[in-house]
Amino acid sequence: MTIARLTKRPEFLRAARGIRRVATGLTVELCQTPGAVAGTARVGFTASRKIGNAVARNRARRRLKAAAQAVFPLYGLPGNDYVLVARRETLTRPFDGLVGDLRSALLAAHARLGRSQAGDIR
């Protein structure tokens, strides 16, 4: 599976309207990629000013990118757009905990995606 990056604001906004799962260290937003390229998942990273100053936001994004590199080859599904949103805990959470948060949020989002594809709206 190839992992590409989300770069344009409308892509981030489309994911924000999709499925959202909140974990202690991060939030995962997920939607299906329109006109998906076979075998490709796209990932974007964001950290708002609520996280802190520019140094803290950049550190949070770097931690999210490192966690995504560890988790997405195993748990990412091709044909989906993912946005990883930093939370305050992203900065202080141990890296193993952050990876575990991402893994559990992805599994929960994929389960929800399967239900919403089947027509179960809840």
Residue 117, pLDDT score:
54
Sheet holding 80-86, edge to edge: 2-5, 40-46, 80-86, 26-32, 19-22
Domain spans of the chain, in order of start: 2-113
Which single residue is written with the structure tokens 């389960």?
Answer: 111
45 — phi, psi (to 5°)? -130, 140
**Full-model pTM:** 0.90
d(CA 74, CA 59): 24
Give me the percent of the chain exceeding a pLDDT of 90. 82
CATH topology of domain 2-113: Ribosomal Protein S5; domain 2 (3.30.230)
Helix H or strand E encompassing 94 = none
Q: What mean pLDDT comes out for the span 24-42?
A: 88
Q: What is the pLDDT of residues 72-92, one digit of tens each?
A: 999 999 999 999 999 999 999
Q: What is the pLDDT of residues 51-70, one digit of tens each?
A: 999 999 999 999 999 999 99
